A and B are shown apart, each in its own frame.
Chain A
Amino acid sequence: MNRNLSRTLILALFCNVAVSVFAQEAGKQEAKETVCFESRKGASEITKREIKPGLPNIKCSATTDAVLWYGDPYEGTVPMSKVPLLDKIPEGNAVVKPRTEKLSLVPTCTLACHNGVTPAGFPKHKKPVPIPTMEAMVPEVKDFQHGRGRIWCLDCHHPTKRNLLVDHFGDPVSFDQPQLLCGKCHGDKLRDWRDGIHGKRIGEFASTGKKRWFVCTECHNPHNVQNGAHQRGFTQLQPEAPPQLPFGMKDAKHEKQHPIHH
């Protein structure tokens, strides 16, 4: 009886997800907007529009759909919470783009399954075990590599509130501020990010100027960040077109010839 109930629950969940996905696709087709991704595909996107006549908010690449130019670097941003040990930046001059509302699975998961209660069959100890439901919904979890098998979902995700992360003291962390969680282990990177050496910022270049800070997960996918096919922590992406060949040159094969065979 119990098993049947759980099966129907899973089925209902799948239907829900499928319907929402179709709805999203239909919405995109109707509007016919130019939507371009910023740093990595699937993390953050911007819809192209005009700020002033003749001045767009972004310019996009025709070949890769990547953002190539920012007319308005602060579009859709909110003030960032305080960064530890950083009090030189005036209030409101550090902004981030909120990510919580972009997370497509959160409404379903938070309401249908993990509505503030610990699900039945929740493991007592924090030993990594595969969760088939989750693997079906988030494919990249199947080749999960972060921590090389030593950590798993609930080391970062809140067990009962699915729209929040959790640090290793059990305190909830917003999806908009993942640095508070990532920095618990990657402290050297957090320090460099705080000082502007690691990571990306756009806006004004003065050290006290208004900047949009890109947070960890806008560039790195925490689930498969160590993948062998990926390099340097980034998902591979399609490059832009190469430069024009010199006059009279048919191809660039000469660049690939080794002068000495070894």
Chain B
Amino acid sequence: MSTDNTPPDSTDRMPASADPAQAAQKSSRRDFLKAGGMLSLSSLMGTAALMAQTDEAKATVEWAEHFQKNYRLMTDDEKNEARIRLERRHSAEYGKKVTVDTSAAQPGVLMGYALNIRKCIGCRRCVKACVEENNQSRGTRPGERIEWIQVLRMERGEFSQEKMNQGYPEGLGIQVGGNAYTPAGQVLEGQYHYTPEAVPEKDATYMPIACMQCEKPPCVKVCPVRTTYREADGPVVIDYNWCIGCRMCMSACPYWARRMNVAKPVLPKDEMNPVTHYLGNRPRMRGVVEKCHWCLQRTRQGRYPACVEVCPVGARKFGNLLDPESEVSLILARKNVFRLKAELNTFPKFFYFYD
């Protein structure tokens, strides 16, 4: 164990090994660090007091959080301790009873999502519902407003005879109609900031995108601290306490799904959703990455995600892929389905369909 020789203050954010075989070794190192901490208790209390000068209880909590393991390596007792710690801290901070769920994936459940792109009218209600549910930052200054779902407005193409010989795809637009030698024309790339009086507009289609919950997620491959991983029932989740904010996952994600808390998150007390999950919508800190997790705090309890419930046209569908009678299974069996950027072999669990 070569890492034992390094001083404690430089190893507090060392990458945890996700390999179960190395778990024992890892925990022994943590025990060593804890033992060292107990020995030099007086100096540590001094450090803790420096870290948070307000009160001793808060400092102890932060100290304990600082030394907790990666969520996947925690025992059930340690998870419970972390849950109680978080519940106490958030309840005090937001002035209401906050629950932090730590329920694990249930056998026989594999979550899947389907979206009817013919139905979507681009009203952005899913975007706002997601913010209400998942405790995103909602300030006004740059970087303080975070939304996980993006709705792309796309121009509709045209296949008229007059336009057959016009335009050549050399700009940023998307070629529509014709072939590589005689394209029919171009439409705009997706627009994020469209603000019409009323939607749906006549010449537009809308395409909402969020985390695709890939089966082979590129973000998980690149994470240097292995804090983001795929749960057994589908969603790719993040243990926010282990995130170092390096943003490797953000550049690896081909679907622009991940967001960074560059500023301290702004979350008003009365708007905070007190029903949270440890890997889901518990309040985040500055400097960590977050993303859609299919409302784990709801779906682990059997509820639909918030965006599904709020869609006014019923374009969003959610269900258990292992249940042949579920909505998503029936869609996969009956409708025309595609996955975004399927050529990247990420195998998303998010399907687009049309009828």
Q: Measuring CB to CB, which residues of chain A are less than 8 angstroms from any residue of chain B?
A: 38-40, 53-55, 59, 61, 66-70, 73, 88, 192, 195-209, 214, 219, 231-232, 234, 236-245, 247, 252, 255-256, 258-260, 262
CA distance A68 to B124 in the complex (A): 10
Contact between chains at B192 and A195 (CB < 8 Å): no
| Distance of A248 from chain B, by nearest CB (Å) | 8
A207 x B323 contact (CB < 8 A) = yes
Q: What chain A residues lie within 8 Å of B310 (beta carbons)?
A: 67-70
**B 15-73 contacts with A by CB, 8 A:** none
A73's contact among B171, B309, B311, by CB below 8 Å, is which?
A: B309
A239 touches B193 (CB 8 A): no
Tell me whether B167 and A262 are in contact (CB under 8 A): yes
Name 22 A/B residue pairs within 8 A (Cβ), A-sorted. A68-B129, A69-B309, A196-B319, A200-B313, A203-B304, A205-B304, A205-B319, A205-B326, A207-B327, A208-B325, A232-B118, A234-B312, A236-B199, A237-B123, A240-B124, A241-B124, A242-B195, A243-B127, A244-B144, A255-B194, A256-B191, A259-B172
Contacts of B127 in A (CB 8 A): 240, 243
CB distance from A42 to the nearest CB of B (A): 13
Listed stretches B212-220, B239-247, B284-292, B329-337; interface member: B329-337
Task: Give every chain B residue within 8 A of A88 (Cβ-Cβ).
Answer: 325
Contact in complex: A61, B320 (CB < 8 Å): no
The interface residues of chain B lying within 8 Å CB-to-CB of A243 are 127, 145, 147, 150, 192-193
B283 to chain A, nearest CB (A): 15
B335 cross-chain contacts in A, Cβ below 8 A: 197
A106 to B93, CA, bound (A): 51
Ranked 7 nearest A-B pairs via Cβ: A259-B171, A200-B314, A252-B193, A236-B198, A196-B327, A240-B124, A231-B200
In the assembled complex, the CB of B267 is this many whole angstroms from the nearest CB of chain A, namely 14
The complex places the Cα of A256 from the Cα of B123 at a distance, in Å, of: 19
Give the docked Cα–Cα distance between A202 and B167 (Å): 46
Closest A residue to B202 by beta carbon equals: A231
- A residues near B193, Cβ cutoff 8 Å: 242-243, 245, 252, 255
Across the interface, do A260 and B128 meet the contact criterion of CB distance under 8 Å?
A: no
* Contact call B302/A242, Cβ cutoff below 8 A: no
B170 at the interface (CB under 8 A from A): yes
Residues of B contacting A252 with CB < 8 Å? 191-193
Given contacts A244-B145, A262-B185, contact A207 B320 (CB under 8 A): yes
Query: For A241, what are the chain B residues with a Cβ–Cβ distance below 8 Å?
Result: 124, 128, 195
The residues in B between 160 and 191 inclusive whose CB is less than 8 angstroms from any CB of A are: 163, 166-168, 170-173, 185-186, 188-189, 191
Verify A247–B143 contact, CB threshold 8 A.
Answer: yes
Which A residue's beta carbon lies closest to that of B95? A54
Count residues on chain B whose CB falls below 8 Å from chain A CBs: 71
A69 pairs with B314, CB closer than 8 A: no
Which of A70, A192, A232 touches B121 (beta carbons < 8 Å)? Answer: A232
Would B185 and A205 count as touching, CB distance under 8 A? no
B306 within 8 A of A: yes
A220 to chain B minimum Cβ distance, whole angstroms, is 10
A242 and B314 within 8 A (CB): no
In the complex, what's the smallest C-beta–C-beta distance from B169 to chain A, in angstroms? 8
Indicate which residue in A207, A232, A242 contacts B325 across the interface (CB closer than 8 Å).
Answer: A207
B312 touching A204 by the CB < 8 A rule? no
- Quick check: A197 and B124 within 8 Å, CB to CB? no
Q: Are B123 and A240 in contact (CB under 8 A)?
A: yes
Residue of A nearest to B114 (CB): A197
Partner of B314, one of A199, A206, A259: A199
Contacting residue for B128 out of A68, A195, A205, A258, CB 8 A: A68
Q: Mark B324-355, 1 if CB is under 8 A from A, else 0.
A: 01110011001100000000000000000001
Which residues of chain B are near A199, meaning CB under 8 Å? 314
Q: Does B119 contact A (CB under 8 A)?
A: yes
Contact between A232 and B119, CB atoms less than 8 A apart = yes
**When the two chains form their complex, are residues A68 and B172 in contact, meaning their CB atoms are under 8 A apart?**
no
Q: Are B124 and A242 in contact (CB under 8 A)?
A: yes
Residue contact B186 to A192, C-beta cutoff 8 Å: no
A262 to chain B, nearest CB (A): 4
Structural contact, A255 and B128, CB atoms closer than 8 A: no
Q: Which residues of A contact B189 (CB under 8 A)?
A: 255
Bound together, the chains give a CA A197 to CA B173 distance in angstroms of 33
Tell me the minimal C-beta distance from A40 to chain B in angstroms. 7
Most buried by B among A69, A205, A207, A255: A205
Chain B residues near A258 (CB-CB < 8 A): 171, 173, 186, 188
B226 within 8 A of A: no
Additional 12 contacts, C-beta under 8 A, given A68-B129, A70-B309, A241-B195: A61-B128, A68-B132, A196-B326, A200-B312, A202-B304, A231-B202, A239-B195, A243-B127, A245-B193, A252-B193, A258-B186, A260-B168
Given contacts A61-B125, A69-B133, A239-B199, contact A204 B97 (CB under 8 A): no
> How far, in angstroms, from A255 to B192 measured CA to CA in the complex?
8
- Those of B187-236 within 8 Å (CB) of chain A: 188-189, 191-202
Given contact pairs A205-B303, A243-B150, A247-B143, A54 touches B327 in the complex (Cβ within 8 A): no
Q: Report the minimal beta-carbon distance from A210 to chain B, rounded to whole angstroms.
A: 9
| Least Cβ–Cβ distance between B213 and chain A, in angstroms | 15
Bound Cα distance from A67 to B125, whole angstroms: 9
A200/B311 in contact, CB under 8 A: yes
